[in-house]
């Protein structure tokens, strides 16, 4: 699933493709990933709607508007419009964007496309249909409603330590909690735990302020490097856990083990990462 660095790369692509572009139409192939949309009078389409109803309403709201900016928070990307409304692009597991102008360039699993006045199209490709697309009248209210935490690249050490107080959950589950810190996903959480030599199943409240500070620093550094390299895994540092785990599950520090922590498949290095409880 796209995590903060991947969505940061999507944001760069979206900005280059869509900012300043006026939408002449929305071409809907499959509106399954388009969620609740209010009409211009404020009425909301029922969750149990007829096929195509949400797509039509989505297209109606967007036609004639211009993308003026974008905002990313964690794994969520918002395209801002000249009406002061926004479009949420949450990529799920397989969502992707593609700008094109010729029909033969259309992505194989395109669900919809923004059709711009200059003839170009920005298609949203999603083979597995886990993405969530929403038209939002108020972006900030939506962020509050889903209780999305501070972006993982922006959270201060002080806020990070304050949120850790009294937490009995595992450090892995805590890092993955998007209401605590937005943007860290499964693979980056494992990387952070490896770099700080902390077993992912360690309880947060068993860690010292020094250890939590190290986790915060590692999180910022790891995500920054990944963003700078545009989430291109082949260019990640050779000393990252990410690279070593490919080598027949044996890392230089010891044997790579696998288990389930916080409901997610998790990897750690035996003997290198200490368990705190």
Residue 214 burial (C-beta neighbours within 10 Å; 0-12, 13-18, 19+): middle
pLDDT of residue 242: 84
Provide CB contacts within 8 A for 192, sequence distance 6+: 175, 184, 215, 218, 219, 222
Rounded alpha-carbon distances, angstroms, from residue 180 to 81, 159, 259: 28, 10, 23
Low-confidence residues in the chain, pLDDT < 70: 40-51, 245-251
- The DSSP result for 110-160, as a single string, is EEEEEEETTS-EEEEE-TT---EEEEES-HHHHHHHTT--EETTT--HHHH
pLDDT of residue 47: 47
Bridge partners (DSSP) of residue 261 are 264
pTM: 0.93
Tens of pLDDT, residues 46-93 = 444 566 889 999 999 999 999 999 999 999 999 999 999 999 999 999
pLDDT of residue 248: 57
Please tell me the number of Cα atoms within 13 Å of 123 on its side-chain side: 19
Provide CB contacts within 8 A for 30, sequence distance 6+: 55, 111, 112, 129
Domains of the chain: 4-145 (3.20.190.10), 150-269 (1.10.8.50)
pLDDT of residue 27: 97
Instruction: Answer for the pair 207, 276: CB distance below 8 angstroms, yes or no.
Output: yes
Instruction: Answer for the pair 230, 244: CB distance below 8 angstroms, yes or no.
Output: no
Tens of pLDDT, residues 123-155 = 999 999 999 999 999 999 999 999 999 999 999
Pinpoint the alpha helices (H) of the chain: 4-18, 53-62, 139-145, 157-164, 171-176, 186-195, 209-228, 241-244
Instruction: Answer for the pair 125, 109: CB distance below 8 angstroms, yes or no.
Output: yes
pLDDT of residue 48: 45
pLDDT of residue 182: 98
């Amino acid at each position: 699933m796209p995590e903060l660095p991947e969505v940061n790369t999507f944001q760069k692509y979206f900005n280059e493709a869509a900012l300043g572009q006026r939408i002449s139409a929305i071409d809907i192939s499959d509106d399954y990933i388009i969620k609740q949309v209010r009409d211009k009078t404020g009425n909301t389409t029922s969750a149990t709607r007829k096929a195509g109803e949400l797509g039509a309403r989505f297209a109606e709201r967007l036609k004639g508007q211009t993308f003026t900016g974008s905002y990313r928070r964690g794994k969520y990307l918002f395209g801002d419009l000249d009406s002061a409304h926004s479009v949420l692009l949450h990529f799920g597991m397989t969502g992707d964007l593609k700008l094109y102008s010729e029909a033969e360039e259309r992505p194989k699993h395109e669900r919809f496309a923004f059709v711009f006045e200059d003839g170009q199209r920005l298609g949203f490709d999603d083979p597995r249909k886990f993405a969530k697309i929403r038209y939002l009248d108020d972006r900030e209210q939506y962020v509050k409603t889903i209780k999305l935490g501070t972006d993982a690249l922006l959270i201060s050490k002080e806020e990070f330590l304050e949120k850790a107080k009294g937490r009995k959950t595992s450090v892995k589950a805590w890092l993955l909690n998007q209401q605590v810190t937005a943007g860290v996903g499964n693979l980056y959480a494992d990387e952070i735990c490896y770099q700080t030599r902390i077993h992912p199943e360690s309880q947060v409240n068993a860690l010292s302020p020094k250890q939590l500070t190290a986790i915060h620093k590692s999180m910022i550094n790891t995500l920054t490097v990944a963003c700078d390299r545009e989430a291109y895994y082949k260019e990640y540092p050779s000393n990252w856990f990410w690279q070593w785990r490919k080598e027949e599950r044996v890392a230089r520090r010891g044997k790579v083990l696998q288990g389930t922590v916080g409901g997610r498949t998790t990897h750690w290095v035996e003997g290198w990462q200490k368990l705190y409880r």
